[in-house]
Structure 1
Amino acid sequence: MTAVSIRLVGDPVLRRPASPVEVYDAELRKLVRDLRDTLQKAGGAGLAAPQIGVGLRVFVISPALGAGKVDHVVNPMLSFPDETEQDGPEGCLSLPGIYLDTKRRMNVVATGHTVKGDPVQIVGEGLLARCIQHETDHLDGVLFTDRRDVERQRRLVAAVRDAVWSDNRDVVVKTSPH
């Protein structure tokens, strides 16, 4: 097992947009294995490459979310088949112990590639759609906390600074393009 450390809020890699994958090679296969192993060890729903310090557009999702045989997407692009929204609790492995009600689209279609470069599509609804959007936000340098109104963001920043794991981290708020 090759689980690696998960970067916490305040780490600059979490705020930089990730670069597209251009080469489908052994290094990319190792990255996907590391992401899978790290996600399994952490017990989360999904994990994006920037969360382990790698600035590439790759994420993995837990097989328990029901995406079939696909558990990763390289260079994902999202589309939304309708305007239906969901609002519910969301957390993040890069902000341990913090859960906030977050609005997301109820349905999403993610297209991209597998680790071998083959085209792939995942159609997600509910929790799977939430996870796909959350992980794609990571690839854009956006955290789920950026989806808060200004007052809630202030309270969140204070809570993060007070968290045991935080080391009084600087928290930056951005706007999601999705």
Structure 2
Amino acid sequence: MPVRPIVMIPDPRLAQPAADVTSFDAALNALAQDLLDTMRDAPGIGITAPHLGLLHRVVVIELPDDPEGVRIYVNPRITWSSDETVIHEEGSVSMPGVSEEVERPARIRLGWQDLTGAAHEAEADGLLAICLQHEIDQLDGIFWTRRLSKLRRDRLHKRYEKMRKAGGR
């Protein structure tokens, strides 16, 4: 499947909530494959349909050394999160080359559907929990930098703009 262009910050589509998927068909399967190919090409470990400019609630995650391999979540929703938090370095395929530490709940429970529409529920911790929260935020129209203080967010955006201009993008 084709590697698609990634929508870059400050594209307004990255601040819009994505709609629930209602058709579990060949087009959804093709989108999931395109997301995977685009994420691997970027490279990244998580991507959403909004990263491609499509406002659908689809997430693809592929963590290093994960025995589960590629994980696809359709219409994911966090149903519980722990009071305990962790701090982890985050970045985005829509803002490449910069990252910053973000504090998030250490564990979550979520519900989602697979590509056939079957419902699932599970708990996650570690890097998977962080990635899921990051990507579900994106589905909700919350770009990850909004989880930073205004000062840290402004500094990060200035650093990104400087890199982007130097790189000619």
TM-score normalised by the chain length of structure 1 = 0.86
For the 8 Å contact 1:67–1:124, the answer to whether it is kept is: no
Q: Does the 8 A contact of 1:45 with 1:65 survive in 2?
A: no
Match for 2:141: what amino acid?
Answer: G
Unmatched tracts of structure 1, length 5 or more: 170-178
Cα deviation for residue 16 of structure 1 reads 0.8
Measured in 1, the distance between the counterparts of 2:10 and 2:102 equals 20
Alignment CA distance shift 1:81-1:159 (3 Å)? closer
Q: Calculate the TM-score normalised by the size of structure 2.
A: 0.90
Which letter maps to 1:76?
P
Identify the structure with the greater strand proportion. 2
The answer to whether the 8 Å contact 1:67/1:128 transfers is no
Q: Counterparts of 1:15-54 in structure 2 under 5 Å?
A: 15-54=15-54
Residue 172 of structure 1 is matched in structure 2 by none
1:149 aligns with 2:146: no
SS in 1 for 2:24: coil
Cα offset, 1:67, TM superposition: 7.0
Does residue 3 in structure 1 map to residue 3 in structure 2? yes
CA distance 1:39–1:102, change in 2 (3 Å) = same
Aligned to 1:100: 100
The answer for the alignment partner of 1:86 in structure 2 is 86
| Counterparts in 2 of 1:26 and 1:39: CA distance versus 1, 3 Å | same
* Kept after mapping to 2: 8 A contact 1:65/1:127: no
In the alignment of these two chains, the number of paired residues is: 169
Residue-by-residue CA offset, 1:9-65 (whole Å, 9 max, x unaligned): 111211111011111111111111111111122231100000011110110000536
Structure 2 segments unaligned to the other structure (5+ residues): none
CA 1:40–1:49 in 2, change beyond 3 Å: closer, same or farther?
same
CA-CA distance at 1:120 after TM superposition: 2.2
Aligned AA for 2:104?
R
Contact 2:110–2:123 (Cα < 8 Å) also in 1: yes
Measured against aligned partners, the alpha-carbon deviations of 1:59-85 in whole angstroms (never above 9, x if no partner) come to: 000053637266111001102352110
Match of 2:60 in 1: 60
Q: Equivalents in 1 of 2:161, 2:85: separation in Å?
A: 31
- Alignment partner of 1:126 is 2:126: yes
